[in-house]
Every structure is written in C-alpha cells, then in structure tokens.
Amino acid sequence: MYVDSHCHLDFPQLQENLPGILDNMKRNQVSHALCVSVNLPDWPRIVSLIDTHDNLWGSVGVHPDYEDTPEPDVETLCRHARHRKIVAIGETGLDYYRLSEPLDWQRNRFRVHIRAANEAGLPLIIHTRSSAEDTLQLMREENAAGCGGVMHCFTESWDVAQRAMEQNFYISLSGIVTFKNAVQLQEVARLMPLDRLLIETDSPYLAPVPYRGKLNDPSKVIHVAEKIAELKQIPVNEVAEATTNNFFNLFKKIQ
C-alpha cells in the first residue's frame, strides 16, 4: 500500500478526470492522498473533495508564491483546521526563486502559519525554494519543532535534510528524485533513514520518469517509491510500508 502525502486534486487540470484518477489510485494500491491548500479563496474546493471521498484528506494554508491573495491570520487558520478532515497547516514557507526582495510579507506569512500549527496542534507542510537557510532560521525562531511536519518536495542538500530532521520534520521526496540530473537529491534518498521519509507527487506537477513532462496524479507515486528502493537497494515494499506508516504517524487525524 502507498500514500501520496502531497497533491493538488482540487486544481482544474485534475478535476476534469477525477473519477479516472481515483480509479487509478485504487488500481495502483494508493490508499490515501493529502490535498494541500495553496490559498484561502480556493480552500472550499478542498473541503468539497475531502467531504466527498473517504480516502482524501486536506490542509489549510497559503503558498509563499501567492503574493496578491488574502493574508491568513492565526485565528482563521485554526478555525478552518477544526474541520474533521483537515490534518495539517500549509503549504507555507519561503520561495525566493521567482520573487525579489523585499519579501518581509512572505516571512511574516510563514511565521503566522508556524504559530497556527503550534496552536492547532497540527503538523506543518513547508515549501522551501532558494531559501533554505532563512527557512531553517525562521523554523527555529518560531519553534516549528513544537508542531513538527514535513519538508515537502525536498530538493536541498543532505545537510539541510539533517537540520530539518533535527527540528522534528520529515523529508518528502517527489518525482524529481527520478530525474536523471537529480544527483544531489538521489544522494539524499540513499542516506535518508526510512523512518523520516515520505513520498509525494505534488501533482499535477513533476510527473516522475517515465511520465516526465506529462500530467501527474497520485497513482504515479509508486514510481517515486520504486526509485528510492533502487537507490537504497532494498525491496520497494519496504519503502511503501515505511512511508505509509510515517504518513499516519505524522498526520494523526487520519483514520
């Protein structure tokens, strides 16, 4: 059994073929998927999905790339987090790749999410791109270790992975680990202890080899597991079992 710890099934590209996607998940033994929020105006789409399908769960948060969107506050995030199938806060974090300074608004938004996660007692889903040092620093300043969580779609070095794990965070690998040029990330996969590892698709993006460049969906998370197993030289069922157990250990509201 597999789980997809991070996807965006509420996005229009995937909504168009949701019944087929759910069938493919079942066929590939992907039992659960976490539908991750990127902004508050579209959050009701996630609620509609998770209320309709027993094997789908959700989060609430605002992605750091969304500059012109209503800013969340701790009270709003915590109120939405009381929904029985909202199991995490995020995705949140820092992303310096597309945006230029001043980015105080982005850092302030990240702080709000960490505080909300600690108040709600839910794990945090962190997105970090071209911003690892600032991300880790803010995590320390706001005691992100108190809520724990996951560094989603991880693309950083082994050193960054270790420092995130020291702060009570799991590391989640996506289809990027299957890419030929992902040498650094593949080394992280080799070194990662299985008890701190999650797998994800980040669909509809980042389809793994052999589907690279095509529309991604949760059923393809098995290819991420297979690549990790190959890199670690262990049976794929060990990766599936460990990452599934980790998923339920982290997202404790999931039944």
Domain contains 255: no
The domain that holds 101 is classified in CATH as 3.20.20.140
Q: Is 152 annotated as a binding residue?
A: yes
pLDDT of residue 167: 98
pLDDT tens-digit map of 41-86: 999 999 999 999 999 999 999 999 999 899 999 999 999 999 999 9
Q: Is 127 annotated as a binding residue?
A: yes
**What's the Cα-to-Cα distance from 156 to each of 97, 106, 151, 163, rounded to whole Å?**
13, 20, 10, 11
pLDDT of residue 123: 99
Q: Is 202 annotated as a binding residue?
A: yes
pLDDT tens-digit map of 100-148: 777 899 999 999 999 999 999 999 999 999 999 999 999 999 999 999 9
pLDDT tens-digit map of 227-246: 999 999 999 999 999 999 99
Domain contains 169: yes
pLDDT > 90? residue 4: yes
Domain contains 142: yes
Q: Convert the chain into a string of H (helix), E (strand) and C (coil).
A: CEEEEEECCCCHHHHCCHHHHHHHHHHCCEEEEEECCCCCCCHHHHHHHHHHCCCEEEEECCCCCCCCCCCCCHHHHHHHHCCCCEEEEEEEEEECCCCCCCCHHHHHHHHHHHHHHHHHCCCEEEEEECCHHHHHHHHHHCCHHHCCEEECCCCCCHHHHHHHHHCCEEEEECHHHHCCCCHHHHHHHHHCCHHHEEECCCECCCCCCCCCCCCCCHHHHHHHHHHHHHHHCCCHHHHHHHHHHHHHHHCCCCC
C-alpha to C-alpha distance for 231 and 189, rounded to whole angstroms: 7
Rounded to two decimals, the pTM is 0.97
Q: Annotate 189-213 with b (16+ C-beta within 10 A) or e (fewer).
A: beebeeebbbbbbbbbbbbbeeeee
Domain contains 100: yes
Number of domains in the chain: 1
- Domain residues for 173? 2-250
- Phi and psi at 107, nearest 5°, equal -65, -40
Judged by average pLDDT, the poorest of 102-111, 183-192, 200-209 is 102-111
Domain contains 42: yes
